[in-house]
A and B are shown apart, each in its own frame.
Chain A
Amino acid sequence: MAQKRKIPERAVFHMTPRRLAQLSLLTAAALILHVIELRLPSPVPIPGVKLGLANIFTVVAVYHFSARETGIMLVVRIVLGAVFAGNLSSLLFSACGAFFCLCGMLFLRKILPRRYIWLCSVFGAVLHNTGQTAAAVLVMGSAAVLAYLPILIVTGSAAGLFTGLCAQMVVKRIPGSGKDLP
């Protein structure tokens, strides 16, 4: 009987208060960077090009939390980020990009050790831009916007390298993060 009772409890997503606090902190930090970045003028007048500072914490979460926890954090950050930006029309693009990016990085974290967080982030950025462009093709009803993908990949790789290196420095400094993920 006791066993039977434990099964549904396990099926329910359980998070310790400590994990919840850590996740909330990372989400808040990501949102702060997102809002700061909104104040910076866009360096290149090309739709979709941005530094993506908030993704420093997405990459940190990928290497520090479970897939599920990272996913929850990303959804909260993207929805609140779009609300703070007052630009709900960009939600579809960021959500689509983030989905591609997260799937790719969750796969790569099993292959790439912590020394290569920057590399995982570069691939994440490239996948983000790919997802974004795919959403743009659907929205515009035309494949002509695919012409932006190469440029987005070039700028995205640079941005991903920067945010990845930042994330690597953050992960190194999180206490108790010495070992790689199980």
Chain B
Amino acid sequence: MIQYSIIQLEEYDEAFKIDNKKILCYSKKAFKKLEGEPEVIGEVNNYDDKDYDDEEDKAVIAVAKKTYEVCKPGKTSRLFYSCRGYVEVKENEYIAFYKSRFLFLLWLLLLITITALLLAIIIRMGVSPQEKPDDRLHPLPPIDNNAQTISGNDTQPSTAVEGSGGSVSMTLSPTATLSLSTGMIEMYFMNPHASLHDILVELYVVSVENEEEKEYKIATSGRIPIGSQLSVLKLSVDPALFAAEGVYMARYYVKCYDPESGEKSTVDPLFNDIKLIVKE
């Protein structure tokens, strides 16, 4: 049996522990820079402290009163073991110490498996049929650029008027203010979270001509999704059509769309007695 012992050198730049005993050694980097063609004559990768006295063909190295088997160079799997460092045992002859990568590889495998599983679930969700072929029967009008999502509970302004159309409930302000200079109408319309439909609002001015009521559409919103509110509308007609500043009678028509199928309710809820205040 060949028994090696570590030559302690001041040049050692690395350290590792075996059974809480610190072992000084060359790092891989430092070992590569060594001059004089250093030779690795053995490797240690098994840290079972056994009595090797009876095994004549073995080589062992003594480290902190324990002996570990030294195997021939190149016998240690580079995949499952990583080099901790090199110690000199004779002039220009070194023994490399390896440690198992089992735990590292296990964690890596676990990470890869979890990632692969999650990716598979995500992709499966992506390719699974999202909706029955008949679910989307119509496209939905585009969402109004000024529609804002309602955060938290649906709170109502004190001036609110409640209305309903079928299963649609909504909150709106009974007044709207048109600025002729900007062509913008300040108003308020809320489609609460409890609503079952996306809505689209049309604002009409009502006038009585020859005892006959006529209505003129002056603004149309984009779609206001469930849980959203709208506080501004753009005038869609020539401001010159308004003869003067003042208060005009107006009404809202609300178109209600099923957000899944895109179907519009047959009846458009109507909100009368809206005061349109026209200003310069």
A, B from the same assembly: no
Q: Which residues of B contact A (CB under 8 A)?
A: none
Q: Which residues of A contact B (CB under 8 A)?
A: none
